[in-house]
């Protein structure tokens, strides 16, 4: 029996799919991500299952839709009796390590991982301790505040320091594992906070990105069709249509610099991983994207491509289980990551999987049923209506409960400018995708559950502020530095 491959999962935060050199952004210097893609398979159309950190991450860990996990917002807690890929790979003999961020909320900060290195950069529970954010205080929590010109641009901040600490810990873990005589294959998950806002990066990378600014892609203009209720609300809360050009450019340049910084760290992890014995499979992905000025908006929380489409690259460093230099255009989702890792590791399948293993796609097989598959994403965010997207091929439908609908044909309208939900020529597609979006997903019931959970969160956040359990595994770099 062939030895199981080592598995390395690199997960960034808020990296949109098309801001990589290998994805067509030739103006952006991402040599390490490009090298991974050249030596493996890049999934050209991967979608998150919620354009929000916590729900997306708990979904990719468990292979289950956010509504099934009852994870509506970042403060909701994934039940410890929900199995994750770490549990499954552990049963297959893997030693699993989490280095850095996963955005776990609540007392269980493992969810199947054997070890946790560095901890997280955001509080482990509502009202819990936080790191010192310095000059960018607030910019990590509010889209409007993150676009404050005084909190963007050149300078160090906790995100940069945290990601460097996570990278160092991951490299050290790989080197120690390579030098040891351990028999168990390694499963290492590396969780970074970048390129999430605040939109700030080290001076070297900011200047490099600024030199490339004249090659930045044009921001997509507001949709041509009349905005419906959800759009109007979103425009008001997520950057507006009148964000001044200087602030928008500063945010975009900073974001580009943050991605180039991330790429450099990818290279460090990959280089260290080459020391491991046997085959090592690496997958890179992000939990959601960032609109980066498209439609006049920044951040996520939308079903437009910049927000909901994410990178996914699979590569084998020393084996042949992943073909080289392939680009797969079949739509997949982050839900598929869990069952795929389990299959590659020879682990038992988890129950109640909404995702499927894409190992056949990685091997180059594209049976017709893959193109008939519907990809789903959802969001239940306070202040917005509950909403769900259903995508099949190039057809994308979005339902906003009591607040409108979208239908885009991406083949003829890749910039999502013309909402054709009322076009008679699209009636059959709209009907089929709406049925898929609403199957098993009851917007009234989900609205009630999400609102009820907010009441719990408010009380627990008060408890966290007034009583709490201390910092736990929260990354304590700044606190330690200030006390030393």
**CATH code at position 121:** 3.40.720.10
Residue at 153 is within a domain? yes
Closest CA to 76 of 54, 56, 98, 57: 54
In this predicted structure, the answer to whether residue 239 has a pLDDT above a threshold of 70 is no
- CA pair distance 166, 98, nearest whole angstrom: 10
Residue at 438 is within a domain? no
* Model confidence band, residue 482 (pLDDT cutoffs 50, 70, 90): very low
Read off the pLDDT of each residue in 174-180 and give the average, rounded to a whole number: 96
In this predicted structure, the answer to whether residue 366 has a pLDDT above a threshold of 90 is no
Domain total in the chain: 1
Cis link prior to 198 (omega < 30° from 0)?
A: yes
In this predicted structure, the answer to whether residue 484 has a pLDDT above a threshold of 80 is no
- pLDDT of 240 reads 52
3-class secondary structure per residue, 180-238: CCCCCCEEEEEECCCCCCCCEECHHHHHHHHHCHHHCCCCCCCCCCCCCHHHHHHHHHC
Residue at 437 is within a domain? no
In this predicted structure, the answer to whether residue 478 has a pLDDT above a threshold of 70 is no
Residue at 456 is within a domain? no
Closest CA to 99 of 192, 12, 229: 192
- CA pair distance 13, 11, nearest whole angstrom: 7
Q: What are 6-21's pLDDT values in tens digits?
A: 999 999 999 999 999 9
Q: Classify 409 as helix, strand or coil.
A: strand
Structural domain boundaries, residue 315: 6-373
Q: Which helix (H) or strand (E) holds 482?
A: helix 477-483
- 454 in Cβ contact with 111 (< 8 Å): no
- pLDDT of 320 reads 81
CA distances from 187 to 32, 96, 254, 285 (A): 21, 5, 32, 16
- pLDDT of 479 reads 47
Q: Classify 77 as helix, strand or coil.
A: coil
CA distances from 254 to 197, 203, 211, 304, 484 (A): 9, 10, 12, 22, 31
Residue at 459 is within a domain? no
Of residues 471 and 483, more confidently modeled: 471
This prediction's pTM: 0.96
Residue at 379 is within a domain? no
């Amino acid at each position: 029996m062939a030895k199981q491959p080592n598995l390395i999962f690199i997960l960034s935060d808020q990296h949109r799919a098309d801001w990589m050199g290998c994805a067509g952004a030739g103006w952006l210097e991402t040599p390490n991500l490009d090298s991974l893609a050249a030596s493996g398979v890049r999934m050209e159309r991967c979608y998150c299952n919620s354009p929000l950190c916590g729900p997306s991450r708990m979904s990719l860990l468990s292979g289950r839709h956010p509504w099934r996990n009852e994870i509506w917002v970042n403060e909701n807690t994934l039940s410890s009796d929900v199995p994750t890929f770490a549990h499954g790979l552990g049963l297959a003999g893997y030693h699993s390590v989490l280095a850095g961020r996963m955005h776990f909320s609540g007392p269980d900060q493992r969810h199947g991982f054997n070890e946790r290195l560095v901890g997280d950069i955001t509080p482990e529970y509502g009202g819990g301790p936080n790191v010192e954010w310095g000059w960018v205080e607030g910019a990590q929590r509010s889209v409007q505040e993150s676009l404050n010109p005084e909190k963007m641009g050149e300078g160090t901040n906790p995100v940069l320091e945290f990601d460097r600490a996570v990278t160092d810990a991951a490299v050290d873990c790989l080197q120690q594992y390579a030098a040891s005589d351990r028999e168990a294959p390694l499963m290492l998950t590396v969780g970074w906070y970048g390129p999430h806002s605040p939109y700030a990066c080290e001076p070297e990378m900011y200047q490099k990105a600024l030199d490339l600014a004249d090659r930045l892609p044009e921001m997509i203009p507001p949709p041509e069709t009349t905005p419906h209720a959800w759009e109007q609300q979103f425009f008001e809360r997520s950057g507006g249509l009148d964000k001044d050009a200087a602030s928008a450019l500063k945010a975009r340049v900073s974001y580009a610099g943050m991605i180039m910084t991330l790429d450099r760290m990818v290279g460090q992890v990959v280089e260290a991983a080459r020391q491991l014995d046997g085959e090592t499979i690496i997958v890179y992905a992000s939990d959601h994207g960032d609109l980066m000025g498209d439609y006049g908006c920044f951040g996520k929380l939308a079903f437009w491509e910049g927000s909901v489409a994410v990178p996914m690259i699979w590569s084998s460093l020393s084996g042949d289980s992943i073909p080289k230099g392939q680009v797969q255009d079949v739509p997949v989702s982050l839900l598929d990551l869990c069952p795929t890792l389990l299959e590659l590791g020879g682990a038992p399948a988890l129950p109640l999987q909404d995702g499927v293993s894409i190992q056949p796609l990685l091997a180059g097989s594209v049976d017709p049923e893959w193109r008939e598959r519907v990809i789903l994403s959802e969001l239940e965010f306070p202040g917005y209506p509950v909403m769900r997207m259903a995508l099949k091929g190039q057809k994308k439908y979005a339902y906003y409960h009591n607040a409108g609908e979208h239908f885009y044909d991406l083949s003829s309208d890749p910039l999502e400018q013309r909402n054709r939900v009322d076009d008679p020529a699209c009636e059959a597609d709209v009907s089929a995708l709406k049925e898929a979006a609403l199957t098993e997903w009851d917007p009234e019931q989900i609205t009630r559950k999400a609102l009820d959970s907010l009441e719990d969160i408010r009380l627990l956040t008060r408890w966290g502020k007034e009583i709490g359990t201390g910092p736990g595994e929260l990354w304590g770099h700044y606190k330690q530095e200030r006390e030393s």
